[in-house]
A and B are shown apart, each in its own frame.
Chain A
Amino acid sequence: MPKHNNLNKILVIGSGPIVIGQAAEFDYAGTQACLALKEEGIEVVLVNNNPATIMTDQSVADKVYIEPLNVETIEKIISREKPDGMIGTLGGQTGLNLTVELYEKGILDKYDVKLLGTSVESIQKGEDREKFRNLMIEIGEPIPESAIIEDFQSGVEFVKEIGYPVIIRPAYTLGGAGGGFANNDEEFEAVLKQGLTLSPIHQVLVEKSIKGWKEVEYEVMRDENDTCTIVCNMENMDPVGVHTGDSIVVAPSQTLSDVQYQILRNSSLKVIRALNVVGGCNIQFALDTTSNQYYIIEVNPRVSRSSALASKATGYPIARIATKCAIGYHLDEILNPITGNTYASFEPAIDYIVVKLPRFPFDKFSEGDRSLGTQMKATGEVMAMDRSFEGALNKALRSMEMNAHSLYLKSMPGKTKEELVELLKKPTDLRLFAIAEAFKRGFTIEEVISQTEIDRWFLIKVKNIVDCEQKLASHSWEEAPVDLLKTAKRMNIGDRRLSEIFNVPEKEIRLKWKSLNVKRGYKLVDTCAAEFDAVTPYFYSTYQGADEVESSHGKKKILVVGSGPIRIGQGIEFDYCSVHAALAVKKLGFEAIVMNNNPETVSTDYSIADRLYFEPLAVEDIMAVVEKEQVQGVLLQFGGQTAINLANALEDEGVTILGTSMKVIDQLEDRHEFYSLLNELDIPHIAGTTINEPEELVPAAEKLGYPVLIRPSFVIGGQSMFICYNNKEVEKYLTRIMEDGNDRCWPLLVDQYLPGMECEIDVISDGENIVVPGIFEHLEKAGVHSGDSVALFPPVNISDSIKKTLIEYGEKIANHLPIIGMMNIQFVVHNEVVYVLEVNPRSSRTVPIMSKVTGVPMIEWATHVQLGKSLKELSGGSVGLFPEPAYYSVKAPIFSASKLKGVDHVLGPEMKSTGETLGLGVTLEEAFSKALQLSGKVSAKESAAGEEPTIFCSIANRAKEESLDSIKAFAKEGYKVIATEGTAAFLAKHNISSETLAKEKVLLHEFWKNKQPDLVLNIPNEGRDGEKIGFYIRELAVRYQVPYYTSFDTLKPWINLFSSENEEEKPRTLGEYRQLTKLNEVGACQ
């Protein structure tokens, strides 16, 4: 059947800010969906408050609402737009939940909006544990026995029924805290009691444990006509017990016989039919290792992280096809875009193997709880393809950009045997490296199996690599046997790893490959194992086969280097930049070649670039593409720190780096040169020095005078950066980074810490002129990382003269160096003096937002100046600081605190947020309220019927004075104040009465259990110390989902709301806000 009639306007709900478990994959899905709808001539209305996404570009959707993702707002949008239908299964869990709410509140009926694709009944059957359970029993599919338990006794009775082992999963706890496995009565008693106490609602799920079984996923498609296909199945190397999002995953499954593959396939079809899903669906299985018995772990009746992975792994664009199904197409009516001559109603056959590795934040959060379990902790992932597992694994490892770029991790050889065995037993982000180390120390396969429960097949492959590296190590580079070297390359052992083993420079290694004619071949990702001709330029490399890829001729080629896996400090915003760079390159008639290794992103959608190389972003891999494609130049300014860090090596290999020169980049990245540059231009910078030896640190700090801020030389997101107030803290810091053992840390940089106002600008420069679309003012004082601070635009506390200075400094720097392309400058304004904090010679986190709210195509211009255009011709003459819009934009950070146990989410110079939201409004209050979702919180107080609202305060001594005004304001507003001893005493002195609480964990917890405050104000004196009470208070706040503030500044908007009579928030399209801009300009001219 062709597509449904009378669908002219469709509402798409995005997934909102990036949090652990819900990341860029939904930008990829949403963008595909919007484009798939538009090409059907359907008008697309999009709601998403994540400004860093591609999907919120006006080129992607017809009407873009960057507005809060809550039912109230969406209802307003529906009533304005009157869409004919909506799709809710593309926006992750957020989109799904909102869809269900809209339906249950009768809003869809009220406005007669047709829910397309999977129905709410089906969604609920999939999501609601009870309904799902019953359905599975009905259709005779096995699921592990489980029960919701709310008191100890019934837990004991239930476990009598089902027997051990069991898994206990408490509801709403930090990173699954208090959960765990129990194999016998006393373990059960311990874990259950703990779980019940820790759960705010005293509820846990007790379930038969199937830990250690194989975990396998199937990605299923279904259309209205009940045609079902499997896009791809995937096998987790980590057995059941580690969340699939945290597991090493391969596609297709490797250790399943055809019989087993088909058993699970049949079950998948049975389930998707029973659920009556229309579109895509993800099903997770546990398969016994010694029989064909299996359980269904869960079903996600929507596109998911796994479906993005499956799409990139096979080339089959699930979200796109799911969207077509949602509007009524049958799978056999939709062309397979990869081949162009076959249809979507088939099952991809691949002739390579795919490995996905999760990317964890523990390189930044070294104090975090690294253990992996049923609660996801990875912030991102990388994918690699090759013709062997060894090859794909090595490629994935060098895509990770961690302290390791192979199976070898520096910290491993130092481990004692006991420590090593622990690392094998307890899954953490380090386990893979521990396995390698174990083999190096002669552990047998059997020993490692018994500790890890990982399937022999995977372990043998890992051992193959280790053995090969051992053999290599036994030779010198000069007389290493050629066959052995070739074997190493067939396993795709990295040049960097080889240079480590033989300790010769990488360059020399590559020379040898040339002389031995050891070359990689490129292969097509074609969904069909070469059975049909494919038209899509989507490639991967291998050392196990011929090069089948014709490099195109004619057009000049430009390579855009992507930003790799998503991690804290380098998120989806850089994918936004890479994608727009590629489009800008195309626009000038060049051929755009994109390289990246992140399967979640839009940049690795084969429809963006002219040619997509899904490859690691290591020098050897980039060089290979540069040489193969004979590219004219490489764009490095859009791939975040990842790309910038490559500049040296690439230039060294003779690659043309477009835009700002290498010399200049070094000048900016090297503190020493940077400061002398600023001196030369007489631009003030904060006093600071560089430290090469540990023992120099304390004296230097004393010389500068406390407080000081210490950081490693190369940092992303303020990695291991601290403000220290005394020698003790400095010493503590030292020991910590020594342990991390990342030599990119040294030398260390020590600055005076100035608590001034922070602001930043993104500058586009052609070396003669600059364009600054706007200035972002930070709400919090300097000392809170730019990525974690609330930022507003246009600024409200920056005088015109200061603005002039900011731009002047920007001009000086840009013209002097010169900067060709983009840079991001962060300033601290302290006592009317403007200090330059740092200059990032690249596009930054704020670029997508600034581009959207001003309408200036920043990336396009920045790309075109690097390709030789002049700014003036691009901007139509206008340069310098652009006029400010007549509306406000407020960016607010979003943290994944509840996912990361042991991590202290106190604001500081080190970035911790995983995502951001944008609030737009005609008044500052409206923008704030939308960004910080205050209306919800403030009204929460009204809702607490009769009871007076409460604020919980615990303030460090140095901040007590400063805290008075804020606390007064709340007291005045009728808030009851609860405070820890010291704070209470201080408040009493200033006659603010408060209920006092002793600083004791037990008492605190008791108090919270009975009644949670409405908000917490907690200014820590140190932070990041698990033993400190302050940390415990913040943990309670997270666990009980109470908003908490560790900076007065962040609280201001809330306080301001008391005075301002807040009139109702209105949703508007980005276009409508921009209209306001124009009006303003007109006004300005008159």
Chain B
Amino acid sequence: MKQGYLVLETGEIFEGKLIGELNNMVGEVVFNTSMTGYQEIITDPSYAGQILTFCYPLIGNYGLNDLDDESFQTAVSGVITGDICEEHSHFQATKGFQERLEQVGVPGLTGVDTRALVKVIRKHHTVKGMITTNPEVASLQDGDDVSQNFWVDTVSVKKPVTYENEGPHIVLMDYGYKKSILHALLQENCKVTVVPYHFSYEQVKELQPEGVLLSNGPGDPMKLQPWFSEIKKITESFPTLGICLGHQLIALAHGATTKKLAFGHRGGNHPVKELLTGKVQMTSQNHGYVVVEDSINYNEFQVLFLNVNDKTVEGIKHNSLPIQSVQFHPEAHPGPSDTEFIFQQFLHQVTTSGGRTYAKA
């Protein structure tokens, strides 16, 4: 295996063995603490533009299978691991981790002390880097910085796709949705139409949905500012659920603000407290931005969930309208499904409001 390097804008350089294909991309270097679910993670569109570090050192043990991809692409711009399992072992496995990276042309660096890297990331909060064969900070200049790209536009569907079913009709606003969100809805017998992120209120209305779900997705939610007013109208007109980026967009559309976290929440062990019951649930998370708590308009919204560790906002609910949104991933995959009840709550809203739309004429 070829020597390779992860070069950070802050000057640190990590040596390792190259796998996959170099893509010359400079992305934000982030870390995920999950001990399982690497397949779901690298196929989660929210990682677009990011170089992902696995805290857990042994990646690829059970290979990759044909069932657990979270999207049709491998959005992540690069992968850093401690060790790649050369010979995986699992009855479902159809490929190896390394094989996959090669096929999709994503670079990986293995044999890295990922723990040391994580500490560097935490020191600098946000840090950009590139996987390369040239161990010099200078090499970042010839890389192309994709960390600020408008990735939603890349990963979102180009035109509507409908999944027929007997149940209520849900429009899934696609900012880079995870397959498991779609599955969760289909599981509940919903008919689902996945629409491009830029769909207007009118376009959505034409589909006559009984509910709308704003998906997760990559990058800074403010990049979608041009669509905030449409999003606001949509949420005011249909029972709405927002997940991750979708949650941030709902908050922003209703006048709140977002900010970047020091180094994000990425993993399957994030405790969130449900304020009504005081119960704590384990959630799967992947986000770099959060809704600023005191920017929320409390006449309209209330906070439903808080993160137990850093007390950041994990979910909000409209006081009068059937709008709810969560920062975490109730669809799990990877991670715990303790909060899948969020989907049932959403569909309960959808059915009780009998699909009525209550656009203010």
Contacts and interface: CB of A to CB of B under 8 A. Distances in A.
Interface of A: 225-227, 229-230, 252-259, 261-262, 265-266, 269, 289-291, 330-332, 341-343, 345-353, 387-389, 455-457, 460, 521, 523, 528-532, 544-546, 548
A269 B338 CA distance: 9
Contact of B87 (A226, A352, A456, A546): A456
Contact of A351 (B39, B55, B334): B55
Given A226-B279, A387-B82, A545-B115, A528 B58 contact: no
A487 to B, nearest CB: 11
Contacts of B113: 387, 521, 544-546
A262 B122 contact: no
Given A345-B280, A349-B55, A531-B267, A257 B33 contact: no
B91 A289 contact: yes
Interface in B76-103: 82-83, 85-92
B143 to A, nearest CB: 25
Contact of B269 (A347, A353, A456): A347
A351 B90 CA distance: 22
A254 B122 CA distance: 27
Contacts of A262: 332, 334-337
A501 to B, nearest CB: 24
A657 to B, nearest CB: 34
B145 to A, nearest CB: 26
B115 A530 contact: yes
Contacts of A253: 36
Given A346-B270, A531-B33, A548-B119, 20 more contacts: A252-B35, A252-B36, A255-B62, A257-B39, A258-B39, A259-B67, A259-B333, A262-B337, A290-B91, A343-B271, A349-B35, A349-B267, A351-B56, A351-B57, A389-B58, A529-B33, A530-B119, A530-B122, A531-B267, A545-B82
Nearest to A546: B116
B61 interface: yes
Given A387-B57, A457-B89, A266 B280 contact: no
* Most chain B beta-carbon contacts within 10 A, residue among A353, A388, A530, A545: A530
Nearest to B309: A342
Contact of B68 (A252, A257, A341, A388): A257
Nearest to A532: B309
Contacts of B335: 258, 262
B83 A261 contact: no
B40 interface: yes
A265 B333 CA distance: 13
B273 interface: yes
Nearest to B111: A544
A258 B35 CA distance: 8
A523 B332 CA distance: 30
B70 to A, nearest CB: 11
A457 B35 contact: no
B115 A351 contact: yes
Given A346-B309, A388-B57, A528 B282 contact: no
Q: Is the interface of A mostly helix, strand, loop or mixed?
A: loop
Contacts of B57: 351-353, 387-388, 544
A544 B273 CA distance: 37
Contacts of B85: 457
A528 B33 contact: yes
Contacts of A529: 33, 55-56, 115, 118, 267
Nearest to A350: B35
Nearest to B92: A257
A258 B58 contact: no
Contacts of A229: 271, 280, 282
Contact of A255 (B55, B90, B337): B90
Given A349-B35, A457-B89, A460-B87, A225 B279 contact: yes
B89 A255 contact: yes
* Most chain A beta-carbon contacts within 10 A, residue among B40, B57, B65, B87: B57
A347 B282 CA distance: 8
15 contacts: A225-B279, A227-B279, A254-B58, A289-B91, A330-B280, A347-B282, A350-B35, A387-B82, A389-B58, A456-B89, A457-B61, A457-B89, A531-B31, A544-B82, A546-B116
Contacts of A531: 31, 33, 55, 118, 122, 267
Contact of B308 (A225, A256, A345, A532): A345
B139 interface: no
Q: Pick the 7 closest A-B CB pairs, nearest first.
A: A258-B37, A545-B113, A529-B55, A349-B33, A347-B269, A456-B89, A457-B89
B308 A343 contact: yes
Interface in B308-353: 308-309, 332-338
B308 A257 contact: no
Nearest to B281: A227
Contacts of B68: 257-259
A226 B280 CA distance: 8
Contact of A345 (B67, B92, B271, B337): B271
A257 B63 CA distance: 9
Given A262-B335, A349-B33, A332 B271 contact: yes
Interface in B144-203: none
B34 interface: yes
Contact of A332 (B34, B273, B336, B338): B273
A397 to B, nearest CB: 19
B280 A331 contact: yes
A922 to B, nearest CB: 52
A353 B58 contact: yes
Contacts of A265: 336
B114 interface: yes
B278 interface: yes
Interface string B263-286: 000011111010001111110000
Given A258-B37, A332-B273, A346-B270, A545 B116 contact: yes
A258 B68 CA distance: 9
A456 B91 CA distance: 11
B119 A257 contact: no
Interface in B17-44: 31, 33-37, 39-40
A1000 B308 CA distance: 70
A350 B61 CA distance: 16
Given A346-B271, A349-B35, A255 B61 contact: yes
Contacts of A351: 33, 55-57, 82, 114-115, 118
B90 A266 contact: no
A349 B270 contact: no
B58 A332 contact: no
Contacts of A225: 277-279
Contact of B333 (A258, A266, A544, A548): A258
B65 A332 contact: no
B56 to A, nearest CB: 6
A733 to B, nearest CB: 47
Given A345-B308, A455-B89, A254 B61 contact: yes
A352 B65 CA distance: 25
Nearest to A343: B308
Contacts of A269: 338
A265 B284 CA distance: 14
A909 to B, nearest CB: 48
B271 A261 contact: no
B46 to A, nearest CB: 16
Contacts of A389: 58
